[in-house]
Chains A and B, each alone.
Chain A
Amino acid sequence: MTAFAEKNTAISGVGMSEVSRGATKSALALTADAALEAIADAGLTRADIDGIATWPGERADGSGFAPVGCAALQDALRLEVGWYAGGGEAPGQYGAVFNAIGAIAAGLCRNVLIFRTMYEATARKTAYANSLLREGQRQAGPFVWYAPYYTYAAALQQALFFNLYVHKSGITPEQVGQIAVNQRRNAALNPNAIYRTPITLDDYLASPIIATPLRLYDCDVPIDGAAAIIVSRMDVARDLPNPPIRVEAIGSSMRYRNSWTQLAELDTQAQPKVAEMMWSRTNLKPADVDIAQLYDGFSFHTINWLENFGFCERYGAKDFIAGGTRIALDGELPVNTGGGALSGGRLHAYGAVHEACTQLWGRGGERQVKGDPQICATSTSGGPLAGAMLLVRD
């Protein structure tokens, strides 16, 4: 197989700040906590970090969506780096990782600090900071065609896609609810999770409808927190304390119409092409995967990824998740083992990477998946955004 650049990189350390529904620290302080923990976990010091990457870069709009960028963190930690990048036009949140892989391959850096910070819990305590729309202002950008139609949140676009999926697949609310129930069960075993009290399928069915068919328990939970990972060049990673978690393959394509209205396959979202690219860069197959940390901004995303990664056939997720046993911690494919964003908190795919490494390094404590899991598939995003990675512990 061709020597793809990602195969020369590995995750060498991870870190996570306190995650809460209302932080006592600033967003930058949370970011520093996560970054310093990741640097120490990798067996490195600040002086070893020679690259910084984040997604989507600092957005000083008060929404809490991306309150910290490369420059603020660089200065806070007085890092001296050869390369940095933070920008939103990328294959979802993992675009920062894919950029780092390229920068390492280009010889620009060896140890890249990658982070994602959210401060949405605090932001939402003031006004309507989460709204996609700015009332009283004319709108531009990717959601502009939705602007006049009271489309205040991503939940509405996702509900459009989800409803078509329900229509085509015949999935029932009882089947969809297994995602939320499974993740809350896992969160109960994760001391860092936001919501740890188990829920039943009846609780799920009783949760309010946001926009049909999307219920409250299908939505992730806004938090204040930060997660960080260190991606190192493979020869560097091999000299560090943690067994390298190799980036075996990535999916980063845009071989489809990247549009929230014109995306051809609304019900599968952009994921099939991205998954196809990832599998084309490895000899591993879906059956080789031990655990999956699948994007769950909405539970529908997780259901989509089960199919699009090939863990089950198209419109087969309803049978795959029925009863919840296959996706449980002791099932054939444990999914979102730390509670995911639905119950663990919306760290926007970086909670998922952190959990992937936690499991692959055997640090899961009460929620550790048995049998020494070695291979994890992980993914980001919905609508026309998607990114995927296959991680393998040496």
Chain B
Amino acid sequence: MIARTLPVIDRDNEAYWTWGRDGKLAIHRCGDCDYFVHPPVPFCPRCEGRNVAPRAVSGRGRVVTFTVNHKAWVPGLRVPYILALVAIEEQDDVRLACNIVDCHAGEVTFGMAVEVLFEQAEDLWAPLFRPVQS
């Protein structure tokens, strides 16, 4: 598969894209009211606290929605592949864009239980999800 196109890293999103090095999925959380704040910003929109920092979460979640892409948009792109939004187990309104891997295109379903894994790309670790291995 061709190389992933990577994000610009800043102070807020660095943990999300690098903690995969240690196998951890980092989501910002308010230390005062426990609300998860994503995309990450050091302000809690629920309690107005500033005590917000990245925390490792379980890495488990559910597929909110998905699509199976069939179009080869650029040379070298292997199709089909699955693009999805996954809600983390800890908080339903934190949704992570991702590819679902280790899963046949026809087998992904709404609400499917998934777990995180990471793929290194340059100096970053992209969170991906796969069906929970039962």
Which B residues between 49 and 86 are near A, CB-CB below 8 angstroms? 64-71, 73-74, 77, 81, 83-85
Which B residues between 83 and 114 are near A, CB-CB below 8 angstroms? 83-85, 93-99, 110
Contact B99 A164, beta carbon cutoff 8 Å: no
B27 close to chain A: CB less than 8 A: no
Contact B4 A164, beta carbon cutoff 8 Å: no
- Interface size counted on chain A using CB atoms at 8 A: 40
**In the complex, A138 Cα to B77 Cα: how many Å?**
19
A76 close to chain B: CB less than 8 A: no
B133 close to chain A: CB less than 8 A: no
A210 close to chain B: CB less than 8 A: yes
Contact B83 A150, beta carbon cutoff 8 Å: yes
Contact B5 A133, beta carbon cutoff 8 Å: yes
The stretch of A62-70, A185-193, A257-265, A318-326 in contact with B is: A257-265
The one of B64, B93, B99 in contact with A150, judged by C-beta atoms closer than 8 angstroms, is B99
Question: Shortest Cβ distance from B110 into chain A, in angstroms?
Answer: 5
Query: Which of chain A's residues have a CB closer than 8 A to the CB of B68?
Result: 211-212
Question: Shortest Cβ distance from B97 into chain A, in angstroms?
Answer: 5
**In the complex, A144 Cα to B83 Cα: how many Å?**
14
Query: Which of chain A's residues have a CB closer than 8 A to the CB of B6?
Result: 138-139, 147-148
Question: A135-B5, A139-B8, A160-B83 in contact; A148/B126 too (CB < 8 A)?
Answer: yes
Query: Which of chain B's residues have a CB closer than 8 A to the CB of A211?
Result: 67-71, 83
The one of B8, B73, B85, B93 in contact with A264, judged by C-beta atoms closer than 8 angstroms, is B93
**In the complex, A144 Cα to B16 Cα: how many Å?**
13
Query: Which of chain A's residues have a CB closer than 8 A to the CB of B39?
Result: 145, 259, 261-262
Question: Shortest Cβ distance from B28 into chain A, in angstroms?
Answer: 13
Which residue of chain B has its CB nearest to the CB of A139? B7
Which B residues between 104 and 134 are near A, CB-CB below 8 angstroms? 110, 121, 124, 126
Which B residues between 6 and 60 are near A, CB-CB below 8 angstroms? 6-9, 38-39
Is the interface on chain B under 10, 10 to 19, 20 to 34, or 35 or more residues? 35 or more
Report A198-223 CB contacts with B as 1/0, cut-off 8 Å: 00000000001111111000000000
Report A155-181 CB contacts with B as 1/0, cut-off 8 Å: 110011111100100000000000000
Contact B110 A167, beta carbon cutoff 8 Å: yes
Interface of B is mostly: strand
Question: Shortest Cβ distance from A211 into chain B, in angstroms?
Answer: 4
Query: Which of chain B's residues have a CB closer than 8 A to the CB of A146?
Result: 83, 97
**In the complex, A231 Cα to B67 Cα: how many Å?**
41
Number of CB contacts from chain A to chain B under 8 A: 113
Contact A144 B8, beta carbon cutoff 8 Å: yes
**In the complex, A155 Cα to B68 Cα: how many Å?**
11
The one of A140, A152, A155 in contact with B74, judged by C-beta atoms closer than 8 angstroms, is A152
Query: Which of chain A's residues have a CB closer than 8 A to the CB of B98?
Result: 149
Query: Which of chain A's residues have a CB closer than 8 A to the CB of B124?
Result: 148
* Interface hub of B4, B83, B94, B121 (most chain A Cβ within 10 A): B83
Query: Which of chain A's residues have a CB closer than 8 A to the CB of B84?
Result: 160
Which residue of chain B has its CB nearest to the CB of A159? B67
A85 close to chain B: CB less than 8 A: no
The one of B38, B73, B99, B126 in contact with A152, judged by C-beta atoms closer than 8 angstroms, is B73
Which residue of chain A has its CB nearest to the CB of B38? A262
Contact A156 B64, beta carbon cutoff 8 Å: no
Question: Shortest Cβ distance from B80 into chain A, in angstroms?
Answer: 9
**In the complex, A333 Cα to B50 Cα: how many Å?**
51
**In the complex, A153 Cα to B96 Cα: how many Å?**
18
Which residue of chain B has its CB nearest to the CB of A158? B67
Question: Shortest Cβ distance from B8 into chain A, in angstroms?
Answer: 4
The one of B8, B69, B94 in contact with A156, judged by C-beta atoms closer than 8 angstroms, is B69
Which residue of chain B has its CB nearest to the CB of A165? B65
**In the complex, A159 Cα to B71 Cα: how many Å?**
12
**In the complex, A210 Cα to B73 Cα: how many Å?**
10
Question: Shortest Cβ distance from B69 into chain A, in angstroms?
Answer: 4
Contact B67 A212, beta carbon cutoff 8 Å: yes
A266 close to chain B: CB less than 8 A: yes
**In the complex, A133 Cα to B74 Cα: how many Å?**
11
Query: Which of chain B's residues have a CB closer than 8 A to the CB of A131?
Result: 73-74
Which residue of chain A has its CB nearest to the CB of B122? A138
Task: Give 16 new A-B contacts, CB below 8 A, not counting A128-B73, A149-B99, A261-B96.
Answer: A128-B74, A133-B5, A138-B8, A144-B7, A148-B5, A148-B7, A151-B83, A152-B74, A156-B69, A156-B83, A164-B64, A208-B71, A211-B67, A262-B95, A264-B93, A266-B85
Top-8 shortest CB links A-B:
A152-B73, A159-B67, A164-B65, A148-B4, A211-B69, A138-B8, A148-B126, A133-B5
